[in-house]
Structure 1
Amino acid sequence: MNGKRTVFFSSLAISLVLISIGVFAPKQMESFSNNSLEFIYNNLGWFILGSVFFFFAFCMYIGLSKFGQIRLGEDHDRPEYKTATWVGMLFSASIGISLVFWGVAEPVSYYIDPPFGKGSSEESAKLAMQFVYLHWGVSAWACYAVVGVSLAFFQFRKKLPASLSSVFYPLMGDKIRGPFGKLIDVMVILSIVIGIATSLGFGTLQVNSGMNYLWGIPVSFYSQIAIILVVSLIYVGSTVSGLHGAMKNLSNLNMILAFALLAFILFLGPTQSILKIFFQGIGDYAQNFIGMSFRTEPYSEGSWIASWTLFYFGWWIAWAPLVGSFVARISKGRTIKEFMIGAIFIPVIGAFFWFAVMGGSAIDLIQNMGETAIATAVSTDVTSALFKFFEFFPMSVFLSILAMVLVLVFFITSANSAVFVLGMISENGNPNPSHSTKVIWGVVIAAVSAVLIMTGGLSGLQSALVATSIPLAVLMLVMCYSTYKGLKDELKTMRVSKSHQEHIVDIRKNVTTKKA
């Protein structure tokens, strides 16, 4: 396993095997995926919850402690991107497409069927926003930040390859270049492929639903395949323009479209209620953060936690290698403290406001205006909820088209970052992977997405994603220890260097004094 292309060919072969199984034995694949998901929920839910909380605690510790002063690069390096552009790239390359998909559907789902208490009530409305903020809050971004800060430190500060195996250097030394290191990279590549394919699947389902709503195009597997093909051609073509070109421009376009949609709903919707929901939700979330983070429901069936909280936390873990690798790539020159504040808290505020505007408005329409059609849409077909919601605003057709464009652009941005990261890891940490490698991974992602939709639809996408979270959580916990060890050694090196420089300055001062 020492060849330069071992990681690429091994991960590509496994991906093709999974695609083949999905095509030729779809029922068996769906059954295995669902059984794996049920086993994880019943036996390892506590591990997922505990791991995610630990990641957040670890990020806060290294960000606010003496480690926060360490720069992700040389001491003279400064950030490559302006903070506004950096935040936009963080946001659009990670959860943007998911926000559009779940912005209305998730809060309304919790309002109808809360984790506890009576549904469709004032109490369930408060719980809806509280748990939405849990699922999309600091816990999610901490998973990304753990991988991002670890890889950025070892890549830019310690000059190691841009592969996840590099973060284990303090524990393994040069063995990261051997079979074990390549095994880590293969596992990471597979998780990225499944994660981004799932994202494409969610986006495809919603776009198909929107096209059916607007133009009567049937919701079918063939329609979804056509959407996947078109989107794949766009993102595979755009990825060859390079990171500075396509990614930067698409990220900026994402933010403009997202802000335009938000502003429209905010000012034409129940503005005062939205702002109250936003602040109330943050207060309830902060007050109950610890309890919600460890809520396992041991004295009941726990189906709600399994279906939502464990799904989301597993999702963030599964996405961490992809988003973390991309975040690391664009964060050179920032201090760890700056990185943690920017990568965890700033995007969270944006996500909270999105849900307050979209989901808060929907709940207000149901509870105060009696518009139960939105709730019915969420219960029957979650992909149609957003378009049903737009019916209660002027220019609903325009809003629906804007939302579909936003989904597509968000996905193209995510896919761009995904194939770029896959290329880097496949080529042993090459910061500028070849176009051929990126194109191959772009085609594989499209194929995996089509297979996942074919074998299970929405539930199949969820099952495949969460199933990858357990081995990745273990890997990330070890990563935390390795990073801590590396940062501790770096502080010692910095102190020795500083002491040496001060000693040289003292010698020069003494020489100057004697000459005088």
Structure 2
Amino acid sequence: MPIDPSDHDPSAPRPGGPPATTPGARPPPIERTRFGGSQRRGRADDDDAPVSRSDLSKGPQELLEHRASRVNWQVLVTSALVILAFSVWAIVIPDEARVAMKAAVDWIALNLGWYYVLTVTLVIGFVLWVALSKEGNVRLGPDHSRPQYGLTTWVAMLFAAGVGIDMLFYSVTGPVVQYLYPPSGDGATAAAMQDAVVWTMFHYGVAGWAMYALLGMAMGYFAYRWGMPLSIRAALYPLLGKRVRGPLGDGISIIALVGTVFGVATSMGIGVVLLSVGFSLIFGLPAGLGLQIALVVGAVVLTIAATTSGVDRGIRWIAELNLWSAVAMMVYILVTGQTAFLLNALVENIGRFMMTMPARTLQTFAYEPNGAEWMGGWTLFFWAFWLAWGPFVGVFLARISRGRTLREFVIAAITAPVLCDFIIVSLFGNSALFQVLQGNTSFAELAVASPEQGWYALLAMFPGAMFLIGLATLSGLLFYLTSANSGAMVMSNFSASIPDPSQDGPKWLRVFWAVLTAVLTVAMLLAGGVTTMEYATLIFALPVTVIAYLVMASFHKVLRMERAEREGQVLHRRSIAPIGGHVPERSWKQRLEQMRSYPTLEQADRFLDRAVRPALDDVSAEFRNQGYDVEQSSMTNEHGIAEPVLRVSMESFRAFHYQVAVVEAPVPMFSGRMSRETDVYYRLEVFTQTGSGGYDLMGLTKQQVIDDVLERYEAHLAFLTVSTERDTASVLTPSILPADELSAVPRDAGDVQDLGDEGK
């Protein structure tokens, strides 16, 4: 049920109060109000970051200059020029471009390797903290929202969106290289064998999906729970306030967009290098740069066709087909290959990964002579790859995860797709290592020197080689198309202002980004192929690390607000006895009647007229008599019923919101009713700004409804008390009130508690 999170205009005059703050004027001092507490009118500066949930609820209005979708030309033009300039540079003078990027990567690996490692470690720790904390129950949407997609479809889309064809590329060459040339110790030893596959599993494991989970849950939270756009800048609103709408926000979007384009282009480039070998084997085409460019052009055409069909059609269909083709390929390799060895190795690899993951996560090889070189070519490249892909995959994951809890989102993201990655890497990697252990040195040399040739050389060793090569090429093509489709859609979203999180950028913009990404891919192929792509990814992912830190700080701030609200409700329940304003229990006759009553839509509407609306009218009248700023309105639902809304404005604090909504529910089969005329019935649930309270007003008396309004109002005041006390001042999150004023915040509903029989 949509809830209007907007607050009253702080610049509007309040009846019975002094004039509100005008733009540019000095903010008025703290003053005593009719609530018996202290409040401050608005923020000292309209550009300040939100310091309360009331400020946060204004985000949808402050982030959007226009309510309709529109292209952000500053972001679009600037990002496109950066990418085009790099592409022209790489095409015109490829040798100089390659040398310059190599020098930049060497400097980063030597001087900033620790920074990449520390950043990824903190991201993993943060998302685990969110999932395991009490705030893990918060949903990506209102409290009553539920997932849009079934579990199987959702996991398939998680897997397909975040896994690229590059994993197939490195699944053979990675283990072979780590066995022959490990980062420490001697190569071709038993110790190197134990770690060979585990290093590749580590690079495709929790680290990348933790980055996706961080950005995905942050963007999804603000979009679906607070009604803000699905974007990085919205996730930073609690830190930066309205500044995210201007040049600062544009700069953030440009960094995220450029990083995304380079990440997707790198995956596409690695993909066409690999697929060109498969097409050459299947169709007898000459392998080389010409075939690779032709595949890029063909993939752009397919990407445009699929992308313009939207998430629920083209991209969803490709994601599910991608998953099943990968499953078929893995089953074939397992059944026709060294089954016992592969299963034993898989179990051992997963166990060793779990035991050594903490040490590997913080490993920098500071004591190894060539540690920086190895880190730059492997771990740092993959960390940069995941950072570059983070905004793109994060938006896509948020787009398909509305209604999931934060805990469900994080746990699923770092387990289900990661386990799929492990299976693919382990089966391919150990199949390759088995050949090396049998003395197949020519294959080992080929896998190291030409990974794409080595991957297909391994497939050719299985029975029914051409069938497996065709299946693997199809699976690789679907991996490629899924990443390209998702990337084009997300790039269009980053370069546009879209108020509705369920909508995507215009089709022409998706086509534009698909074409521009293809141009960049070709440029990097001309400048040196996969190696140049790795260099570019490592360089352009560096600014994205700043976004990761800002998002963690921003999301931590709003989770403190969620905790304050929850603990405020707990405080309220503990104070029920002295306050005496609890919701009266239903009489035994009311309870029995409710057990067998399943109202129709017409009956729910009549009850609104008979009990709920008169109760809210009486409460509103008494609030106004006592000087409160009250607004009564209604919201028409999809059935044409006007749902009553009561709103008490509280100036710089979050307003009290009480809405009675008609909610459809299934009739239980085990009910006490003797027969059923319908499969559904209708409840009258109470909604606050964060969703449904989870209870039904049907069957209550007018007085009981009045008591419920006061109960919810007391809970709101208790929330304000706790949230104010917990809002600790810091550089990023200044306190709402000065320390000497915190004790004056209202703790009960004393002024309205005695409404009692007057509302009958």
Shift of 1:495: 4.6
Moved over 6 A (4+): 497-505, 513-516
Partner of 1:353: helix, strand, or coil? Answer: helix
Residue in structure 1 matched with residue 243 of structure 2 by the alignment: 175
Q: Which of 101, 110, 127 pairs up with 1:59?
A: 127
- Count of residue pairs brought into register by the alignment: 514
Higher mean Cα deviation, 197-206 or 136-145?
136-145
Q: Which of 393, 400, 404 pairs up with 1:323?
A: 393
Q: TM-score, normalised by structure 2?
A: 0.65
| Structure 2 CA distance for partners of 1:213 and 1:119, relative to 1, 3 Å | farther
Higher mean Cα deviation, 426-435 or 410-419?
426-435
Residue in structure 2 matched with residue 143 of structure 1 by the alignment: 211
Say what the alpha-carbon RMSD is for the aligned residues: 2.2
Shift of 1:507: 4.4
Q: Which amino acid aligns with 1:421?
A: V
Q: Are the counterparts in 2 of residues 162 and 428 from structure 1 also a CA contact under 8 Å?
A: no
Shift of 1:385: 1.2
Q: Which amino acid aligns with 1:433?
A: G
Q: How is 1:142-161 mapped onto 2 (pairs within 5 angstroms)?
A: 142-161=210-229
Residue in structure 1 matched with residue 551 of structure 2 by the alignment: 479
Higher mean Cα deviation, 208-217 or 441-450?
208-217
For residues 112-150 of structure 1, the C-alpha deviation after alignment (integer angstroms, 9 at most, x for no partner) is 222223322322211112212211111121111111111
Unaligned stretches of 5+ residues in structure 2: 1-64, 66-70, 586-702, 708-755
Say which structure is richer in strand.
2
Residue in structure 1 matched with residue 91 of structure 2 by the alignment: 23
Q: Are the counterparts in 2 of residues 205 and 383 from structure 1 also a CA contact under 8 Å?
A: yes
Q: Which amino acid aligns with 1:371?
A: N
Residue in structure 2 matched with residue 421 of structure 1 by the alignment: 490
Q: Which amino acid aligns with 1:319?
A: W
| Rounded Cα–Cα distance in structure 2 between residues aligned with 1:496 and 1:423 | 41
| Rounded Cα–Cα distance in structure 2 between residues aligned with 1:102 and 1:420 | 26
Shift of 1:497: 6.4
Residue in structure 2 matched with residue 304 of structure 1 by the alignment: 374
Partner of 1:460: helix, strand, or coil? Answer: helix
Residue in structure 2 matched with residue 440 of structure 1 by the alignment: 512
Q: Which amino acid aligns with 1:177?
A: R
Shift of 1:496: 4.5
Partner of 2:479: helix, strand, or coil? Answer: helix
Residue in structure 2 matched with residue 357 of structure 1 by the alignment: 427
Shift of 1:48: 0.4
Q: Are the counterparts in 2 of residues 275 and 356 from structure 1 also a CA contact under 8 Å?
A: no
Shift of 1:361: 1.6
Residue in structure 1 matched with residue 698 of structure 2 by the alignment: none
Shift of 1:506: 4.4
Residue in structure 1 matched with residue 333 of structure 2 by the alignment: 265
Residue in structure 2 matched with residue 388 of structure 1 by the alignment: 457
Q: Are the counterparts in 2 of residues 100 and 407 from structure 1 also a CA contact under 8 Å?
A: yes
Shift of 1:483: 0.8
| Structure 2 CA distance for partners of 1:100 and 1:498, relative to 1, 3 Å | same
Q: Which amino acid aligns with 1:339?
A: F
Identity over the aligned pairs, expressed in percent?
30
Q: Which amino acid aligns with 1:196?
A: V
Partner of 1:509: helix, strand, or coil? Answer: coil
Residue in structure 2 matched with residue 467 of structure 1 by the alignment: 539
Q: Which of 339, 343, 349 pairs up with 1:275?
A: 343
Q: Which amino acid aligns with 1:115?
A: P
Q: Are the counterparts in 2 of residues 210 and 384 from structure 1 also a CA contact under 8 Å?
A: no
Shift of 1:371: 2.9
Unaligned stretches of 5+ residues in structure 1: none
| Rounded Cα–Cα distance in structure 1 between residues aligned with 2:559 and 2:551 | 12
Q: Are the counterparts in 2 of residues 373 and 388 from structure 1 also a CA contact under 8 Å?
A: no
| Rounded Cα–Cα distance in structure 1 between residues aligned with 2:89 and 2:449 | 30
Q: Which amino acid aligns with 1:18?
A: F
| Rounded Cα–Cα distance in structure 1 between residues aligned with 2:271 and 2:109 | 25
Q: Which amino acid aligns with 1:318?
A: A
Q: Which amino acid aligns with 1:144?
A: Y
Residue in structure 1 matched with residue 11 of structure 2 by the alignment: none
For residues 459-483 of structure 1, the C-alpha deviation after alignment (integer angstroms, 9 at most, x for no partner) is 1010011112221112201210111
| Rounded Cα–Cα distance in structure 2 between residues aligned with 1:366 and 1:427 | 51
Matched, 1:456 2:531: no
| Rounded Cα–Cα distance in structure 2 between residues aligned with 1:32 and 1:179 | 30
| Rounded Cα–Cα distance in structure 1 between residues aligned with 2:473 and 2:447 | 18
Partner of 1:103: helix, strand, or coil? Answer: helix
Say which structure is richer in helix.
1
Q: Which of 132, 137, 143 pairs up with 1:75?
A: 143
Q: Are the counterparts in 2 of residues 105 and 378 from structure 1 also a CA contact under 8 Å?
A: yes
Q: Are the counterparts in 1 of residues 135 and 562 from structure 2 also a CA contact under 8 Å?
A: no
For residues 302-330 of structure 1, the C-alpha deviation after alignment (integer angstroms, 9 at most, x for no partner) is 12222211111121111111111111111
For residues 330-383 of structure 1, the C-alpha deviation after alignment (integer angstroms, 9 at most, x for no partner) is 11100000011101111111111111211112212221x333332122122111
Shift of 1:489: 1.4
Q: Which amino acid aligns with 1:471?
A: P
Higher mean Cα deviation, 212-221 or 504-513?
504-513
| Structure 2 CA distance for partners of 1:499 and 1:155, relative to 1, 3 Å | farther
| Rounded Cα–Cα distance in structure 2 between residues aligned with 1:301 and 1:105 | 20
Shift of 1:214: 4.4
| Rounded Cα–Cα distance in structure 1 between residues aligned with 2:299 and 2:572 | 56
| Rounded Cα–Cα distance in structure 2 between residues aligned with 1:211 and 1:109 | 26
Shift of 1:163: 1.4
Q: How is 1:210-249 mapped onto 2 (pairs within 5 angstroms)?
A: 210-249=278-317
| Rounded Cα–Cα distance in structure 1 between residues aligned with 2:75 and 2:354 | 43
Q: Which amino acid aligns with 1:380?
A: A
**Larger C-alpha radius of gyration, 1 or 2?**
2
Partner of 1:129: helix, strand, or coil? Answer: helix
Q: Which amino acid aligns with 2:584?
A: K
Higher mean Cα deviation, 483-492 or 117-126?
117-126
Q: TM-score, normalised by structure 1?
A: 0.95
For residues 418-468 of structure 1, the C-alpha deviation after alignment (integer angstroms, 9 at most, x for no partner) is 111111111124532111110101100100000011112111010011112
Shift of 1:227: 0.9
Q: Are the counterparts in 2 of residues 165 and 176 from structure 1 also a CA contact under 8 Å?
A: yes
Q: Which amino acid aligns with 1:127?
A: D
| Rounded Cα–Cα distance in structure 2 between residues aligned with 1:505 and 1:213 | 80
Residue in structure 1 matched with residue 265 of structure 2 by the alignment: 197
Q: Which amino acid aligns with 1:57?
A: G
Residue in structure 2 matched with residue 398 of structure 1 by the alignment: 467
Shift of 1:258: 0.3
| Rounded Cα–Cα distance in structure 2 between residues aligned with 1:292 and 1:68 | 27
| Rounded Cα–Cα distance in structure 2 between residues aligned with 1:357 and 1:304 | 24
Shift of 1:498: 7.5
Shift of 1:107: 1.3
| Rounded Cα–Cα distance in structure 1 between residues aligned with 2:565 and 2:96 | 54
Partner of 2:529: helix, strand, or coil? Answer: helix
Q: Which of 418, 439, 461 pairs up with 1:370?
A: 439
Q: Which amino acid aligns with 1:377?
A: L
